[in-house]
Structure 1
Amino acid sequence: MPGFFNKLLGKDTDSKVQNIGYLGNMKDDASRMKLIKFLGDESVDVRRSAAAALEQHFTSGSVEAITALTKALDDSDAGVRKNAVLSLGGFISKAPSSGESARAKQAIIGLIKREMDEGILKNAVISLANVQDPALSGPMAEAFKGKDKKVVSAAIDVIDNLPPTDARTEIKKALRSVL
């Protein structure tokens, strides 16, 4: 019977995921804070959805979102990490001078060093390329050292598919030096 009551009250996983979809489309502080709370849910589907939906709120530059998404980079689920790292880049780009942004950039570099999942690595590259910080090119290249050459080439291809900027050119040069 608890499953029935949870569904009726909107507390089951499917209801939470549907609610997260709505919250992603609402660009207010209360919706963003609910999404941040969902990042700590016991359900992996809920955490994945919350990490993805938060990306729609990136223009806020919310320090709370940066903190929560940085924490989500250590989630046990690859899908949560993949969505969190992509969302994180947008928030950092809107709050580049906050201390949380600096910690988040370092956390993404750390994720690149330890991560093996190519999808997560691609999203990490997109995230850092969107930050537009040329100072990240060296640490990013260092993080890719020792990775399979195909993975490094895929990272370069990801940057090639983004609109060119000076920062992205620097990142590309640094990654080519790893090959």
Structure 2
Amino acid sequence: MRLDISQEGVPVCRELADELGETVNLAVLDDDAAVNIMQARGTAAVTAQNWLGRRTPLHATAGGKVFLAHLPPAVRESHLARPLRRFTERTITGAPELRGELAAVIERGYGATLEELELGLAAVAAPVHAHDGSVMAAISVSGPVYRLRADRLPELGGRTALAAAELSRRMGYGF
């Protein structure tokens, strides 16, 4: 039986969105971008825009940083050798600084962005592992910076990592 990440992800993402009241996305890696394949809206009146189907840059999004951090080193370095577009004054565009950020993603178990893609937008994301341990997707939580403040990102990142671990388990990881 082949498991479908989007089908298995629906209840996990819905539960996380309901719990946190924020928008939750499930993204997959598509060459040099993250593509959101599923979205669950939270209960908050002010929410992040609809990201379904959008290609988002790896270096300026929480999910993208998760993918970059888990790529094989040679592949990651080829991405970092390219010019990194600046979207806001907070976008990381230098490879050395981004390498440090990617090391932090691995260490803490989640990626985070604070106004790097768009002013007023913050997000956290955690990896979803396939049965073989590879990263097959990223779950992200996004919302306005007045709710997803810098001091809340560790709490939100930890909760997102728990949801990603549950989806990983459903996808056969750890068996």
Given the two structures, how large is their TM-score scaled by the length of structure 2? 0.30
Which has the larger helix fraction? 1
Bigger strand share: 2
Specify the structure having the higher radius of gyration (Cα). Answer: 1
Give the TM-score taking structure 1 as reference length. Answer: 0.29
